[in-house]
Amino acid sequence: MILTDSLLDFFLETRKHTEDICTPLEIEDYVVQPIVDVSPPKWHLGHTTWFFEEFILKTHAKGYQIFDEDFSFVFNSYYETVGKRVVRSDRGNLSRPSVQKVYDYRHYVTSAMKELFSENQNQDLHDVLEIGIHHEKQHQELLLTDIKFILGNNPLLPTYSNDFQEHPIEKQHQEWISLEEGIYEIGHNSEDFCYDNELGRHKVYLHSYEISNKLVTNQEYIDFISAGGYKKFDLWHAEGWDWVLKNKIEAPLYWHDINGDWHYYSLKGLQKVELDAPITHISYFEAFAFAQWKGCRLPTEFEWEAAQRFFPWGKRWEWTESAYLPYPNYTKADGALGEYNGKFMVNQKVLRGGSVATPIKHTRSTYRNFFQTNLRWQFTGFRLAK
């Protein structure tokens, strides 16, 4: 396969979209890191750029001049293969390079990539380029959720944009989709791009189960809160209960009880909770406790994948009961790209679906997202099974 014009378009459109996400920001918003899980927006801008410089331009672009030797140190993330890096918790302590300098870096690298496209039609580049583009799309989602955290954590609760529709109203009747016991095929099954963790299509045996046609809504979650859900230890995992107590958790992230009315911070600013919208910004621990309370459970990722064509999805990343583990015959890629997925396959849960923050063309029915069980800053949600 050679590098096609459509791949170039895909690349350029991706580069542009990242910058579009930042349009509403003040320069100050690019810099801060209120919690360790969040990265400063300028770091995302630099890191996604560094990926192309490090893995493509340095090795394949004849005569390429590195933009700044120090950036490799500043914008490397977890790629231990490639050298030293700023520890994650220090990203928000760096005022330099300036935002302008980071944009200069982006444009310099984007131009060099365009030039490389025009000169080098080497198909060897195809795979790493495709990963680079998808890597940047993945960061677009983090970029947006990190921006939300930066603004939503600020006592002034500034608005990001009045156009962003976080909360699709889903006034759906509750129905249960039944699937029969038997062997199902799981995993990626086409020529299109996917990550290594989806490969190795294989059989699993599922017992008969039912899965909800809809996501759990704010109204249902408020009922759980009102029924004392955060105060009944027997609904929770032991580790979840410790997390509730230690962090004094009483509601989803971004929720504020204002004179007895639930409000939440959205990218449009503070607003009243819409009862029919699907719940979001909850941890796995909370999803699990809710399911216990309902006498149901969360689906496994296999149950979700086998049933997904029977219900709409894509507005919330959906917590599953499955631990993030390798599929049979999973093999880690060599070198730095091998650090992409495999090394996180312990003590995390799989999420399926996609969210309002997921860029187009960046999810599919076999996509396996994963997070630690206490994290809430993504647009997470869940549906029930039984």
Which residues of this protein are in contact with a second copy, per CB under 8 A?
26-34, 42, 70, 73-74, 78, 80-81, 86, 90, 92-99, 150-151, 153-156, 158, 183, 202-205, 207, 209, 233-234, 236-241, 284-285, 288, 297, 321-323, 325-326, 328-329, 338-339, 343-347, 373
Cβ nearer to a second copy, comparing 148 with 315: 148
Cβ nearer to a second copy, comparing 8 with 333: 333
Cβ nearer to a second copy, comparing 11 with 284: 284
Q: How far is the CB of 96 from a second copy (least distance, A)?
A: 5
Cβ nearer to a second copy, comparing 11 with 224: 224
Q: How far is the CB of 187 from a second copy (least distance, A)?
A: 12
Cβ nearer to a second copy, comparing 2 with 245: 245
How far apart, in whole angstroms, are the C-alpha atoms of residue 189 and residue 3?
23
Q: How far is the CB of 258 from a second copy (least distance, A)?
A: 16
Q: How far is the CB of 4 from a second copy (least distance, A)?
A: 33
Q: How far is the CB of 74 from a second copy (least distance, A)?
A: 7
* Nearest Cα to Cα of residue 301 among 157, 202, 193: 202
Q: How far is the CB of 156 from a second copy (least distance, A)?
A: 5
| Residues recorded for the chain | 386
Measured CA angle at 307 (ends 306, 312), to 5 deg? 135
How far apart, in whole angstroms, are the C-alpha atoms of residue 24 and residue 41?
12
Cβ nearer to a second copy, comparing 241 with 262: 241
Cβ nearer to a second copy, comparing 116 with 211: 211
Q: How far is the CB of 197 from a second copy (least distance, A)?
A: 14
Q: How far is the CB of 135 from a second copy (least distance, A)?
A: 17
3-state secondary structure the chain: CCCCHHHHHHHHHHHHHHHHHCCCCCHHHHCCCCCCCCCCHHHHHHHHHHHHHHHHHHHHCCCCCCCCCCHHHHHCCCCHHHCCCCCHHHHHHCCCCCHHHHHHHHHHHHHHHHHHHHHCCCCHHHHHHHHHHHHHHHHHHHHHHHHHHHHHCCCCCCCCCCCCCCCCCCCCCCCEEEECCEEEEECCCCCCCCCHHHCCCEEEEECCEEEECCCCEHHHHHHHHHCCHHHCHHHCCHHHHHHHHHHCCCCCCCEEEECCEEEEEECCEEEECCCCCECCCCCHHHHHHHHHHHCCECCCHHHHHHHHHHCCCCCCEEEEEEECCCCCCCCCCCCHHHHCCHHHCCCCEEEEECCCCCCCCCCCCCCCEEECCCCCCCCEECCCEC
Cβ nearer to a second copy, comparing 168 with 338: 338
* Nearest Cα to Cα of residue 278 among 135, 170, 157: 170
Cβ nearer to a second copy, comparing 114 with 297: 297
Q: How far is the CB of 147 from a second copy (least distance, A)?
A: 10
Q: How far is the CB of 384 from a second copy (least distance, A)?
A: 15
| Other beta carbons within 10 Å of 34 | 15
Cβ nearer to a second copy, comparing 117 with 302: 302
